[in-house]
């Protein structure tokens, strides 16, 4: 499974948000590498838990900034954040079950690999002009 590489295609140009996105990418890559190395389920669950916590904090920061710049799609963006956190939490909960298997690790790795990039490109890029007004 390919690790996610930072590129200008996903850079928003807002230093604080880009730094948080890079941290989420690093955590996602840690999970991908551990899954590929067939890490034990508790280790994968711990990485996923850390990713969820950083994601939750990032989403709060992002929502606060979007509120400050009166982003017109804020409610839809919040709804997307809630959906992503709920799905990721469900994955984490499945890791804590005794029947968790390697196939779950691969499923989670694929999901994480896609949601992060898809969310940045499809959901975050449109608010860039609004954040740029804040300076």
CATH class of 15-134: mainly alpha
Nearest C-alpha neighbor of 87 from the set 60, 67, 62, 107: 107
Q: What is the phi/psi pair of residue 74, to 5°?
A: -55, -45
Q: What is the mean pLDDT of residues 41-58?
A: 93
| Of 122 and 38, the one with more pLDDT | 122
Phi-psi region of 13 (alpha: psi -120 to 50; beta: other; left: phi over 0): left
**Residue 82 backbone dihedrals phi, psi, to 5 degrees:** -60, -45
Please state whether the predicted TM-score (pTM) of the whole model is above 0.75.
yes
Is the model's pLDDT at 135 over the cut of 70?
A: no
Q: What is the pLDDT of residue 109?
A: 86
- Domain definitions of the chain by residue range: 15-134
Per-residue model confidence as pLDDT tens digits over 54-109: 999 999 999 999 999 999 999 999 999 999 999 999 988 887 888 777 788 888 88
């Amino acid at each position: 499974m390919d690790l996610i590489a930072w590129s200008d295609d996903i850079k928003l140009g807002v230093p604080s948000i880009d730094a948080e996105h890079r941290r989420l990418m690093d955590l996602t890559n840690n999970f991908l590498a551990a899954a590929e190395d067939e890490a034990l389920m508790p280790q994968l669950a711990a990485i996923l838990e850390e990713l969820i916590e950083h994601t939750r904090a990032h989403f709060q920061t992002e929502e606060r900034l979007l509120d400050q710049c009166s982003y017109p799609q804020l409610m839809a963006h919040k709804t997307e954040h809630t959906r992503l956190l709920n799905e990721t939490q469900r994955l984490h909960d499945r890791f804590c079950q005794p029947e968790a298997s390697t196939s779950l690790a691969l499923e989670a790795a694929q999901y994480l690999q896609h949601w992060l990039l898809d969310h940045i490109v499809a959901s975050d890029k449109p608010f860039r002009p609004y954040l740029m007004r804040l300076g």
